[in-house]
């Protein structure tokens, strides 16, 4: 999630700077000769801050091909210190290896949708700007319009409730099904108006469609699954002493980050009264932020989108990365590709 600060950094003025950028960059402990992964390149805000330290190198990753293309000028200005790759969080370790980094000194995640994506109607992320109901961060897979057109009422309600934490999920799903029986729902405005017809707008509250749009975006882009895999990939590529820095905006995202770091930093054994105590594996991380850092009032005033941001930091230990599934951190919902294929 990016703001509109244009502070001078390496490569010129940054059109957008991520929320909590200065504190995140400080927690990365950037040093001359260090190699860092900006896992959510976006407009390059974190990358510019890292490149401002002489001798650093950055591998920038983004699944949005528009962000990668827009970063070409910064690649030139960085003179060999910046490499960009189009890809997902789950591919982080492979991408780092492909770019010659067997181990890195820091990985930073700035989760959620960027201001650039929200402000472009054609991307279909915002209910405030009418556009096609797309919401894909990349260029492949089913769109939000596909899911809205094919999903059953019960499935829609589950998506909106679980990923949007919307208590009116059933009523919204029912209204969507009724509306699409009359005509296809293909624009952001059309969907927003359907939600508004069900959820009452209150003075000072968020827009009635906020949680529904959020849920569809997270579902379409498999954001929670990707985050879980991305954190595990960061664990594999970080050197001992390397820093993991994550800025999250949604409670579900932050819960995954918090749970992952807590599990990976715990010395407590796993136990149950139904089975013998099991020795805990040694911690792979050391927690550096016991409580998440949040924006101050000045940053929220400058960028209202910052109000829900939480920053968490952990430092890699010398213990080998853990193997095993990470899906246990994620709500049990089908992937969009499976979902649409099942309903085709």
pLDDT in tens, 284-334: 999 999 999 999 998 888 877 788 899 999 999 999 999 876 767 777 765
Domain boundaries, the chain: 8-115+223-329, 139-220
End-to-end alpha carbon distance in the chain: 34
CATH class of 8-115+223-329: alpha beta
Q: What are phi and psi of 14, to 5 degrees?
A: -85, 125
Report d(CA 116, CA 8) in Å as an integer.
Answer: 19
pLDDT band at 68 (very low <50, low <70, confident <90, very high): very high
- Shared fold status for 8-115+223-329 and 139-220: no
Mean pLDDT for the chain overall: 86
Cross-strand bridge partners of residue 106: 36, 243
The CATH architecture of the domain made up of 139-220 is Orthogonal Bundle (1.10)
Give the pLDDT band of residue 16 (cuts 50, 70, 90).
low
Among 166, 163, 336, 170, which residue's Cα sits nearest to residue 250? Answer: 163
Work out whether the CA dihedral 28, 30, 36, 41 comes out positive or negative: positive
DSSP state of 113: -
Find all residues with CB under 8 Å of 105, minimum gap 6, and list them.
31, 34, 35, 36, 238, 239, 241, 242, 243
Quick: pLDDT tens for 253-293. 999 999 999 999 987 655 555 556 667 789 999 999 999 99
pLDDT for 344 equals: 47
Mean pLDDT of the region 115-136: 76
pLDDT reading at 10 higher than 60:
no
**240-259 pLDDT, tens digit each:** 999 999 999 889 999 999 99
Q: How many CA atoms lie within 13 A of 201 on its CB side?
A: 11
- How many other CB atoms are found less than 10 A from the CB of residue 331? 16
């Amino acid at each position: 999630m990016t703001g509109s600060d244009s502070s001078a950094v390496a490569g010129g003025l940054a059109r957008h700077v991520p929320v909590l950028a200065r504190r995140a960059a400080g927690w990365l402990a950037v040093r001359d000769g260090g190699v860092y992964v900006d896992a959510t390149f976006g407009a390059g805000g974190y990358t510019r801050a890292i490149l401002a330290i002489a001798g650093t190198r950055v591998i920038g990753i983004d699944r949005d091909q528009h962000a990668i293309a827009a970063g070409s000028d910064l690649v030139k200005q960085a003179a060999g210190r910046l490499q960009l790759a189009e890809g997902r969080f789950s591919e982080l370790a492979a991408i780092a290896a492909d770019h010659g980094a067997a181990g890195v000194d820091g990985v930073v995640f700035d989760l959620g949708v960027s201001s650039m994506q929200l402000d472009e109607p054609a991307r279909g992320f915002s209910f405030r700007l009418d556009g096609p109901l797309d919401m894909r961060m990349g260029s492949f897979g089913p769109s939000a319009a596909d899911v809205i057109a094919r999903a059953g009422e019960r499935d829609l309600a589950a998506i909106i409730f679980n990923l949007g934490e919307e208590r009116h999920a059933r009523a919204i799903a029912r209204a969507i099904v009724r509306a699409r029986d009359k005509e296809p729902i293909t624009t952001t405005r059309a969907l927003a108006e359907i939600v508004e017809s069900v959820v009452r707008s209150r003075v000072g509250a968020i827009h009635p469609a906020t949680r529904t749009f959020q849920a569809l975006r997270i579902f379409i882009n498999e954001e929670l699954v990707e985050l879980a895999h991305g954190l595990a990939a960061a664990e594999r590529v970080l050197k001992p002493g390397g820093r993991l820095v994550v800025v999250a905006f949604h409670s579900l995202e932050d819960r995954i980050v918090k749970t992952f770091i807590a599990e990976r930093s715990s010395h407590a054994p796993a136990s149950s009264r139904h089975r013998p105590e099991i020795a805990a594996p040694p911690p792979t991380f050391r927690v550096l932020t016991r409580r998440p850092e949040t924006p101050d009032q000045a940053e929220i005033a400058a960028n209202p989108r910052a109000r829900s941001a939480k920053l968490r930091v952990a430092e890699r230990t010398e213990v080998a990365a853990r193997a095993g599934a990470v899906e246990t951190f994620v709500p049990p919902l089908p992937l969009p590709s499976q979902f649409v294929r099942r309903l085709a």
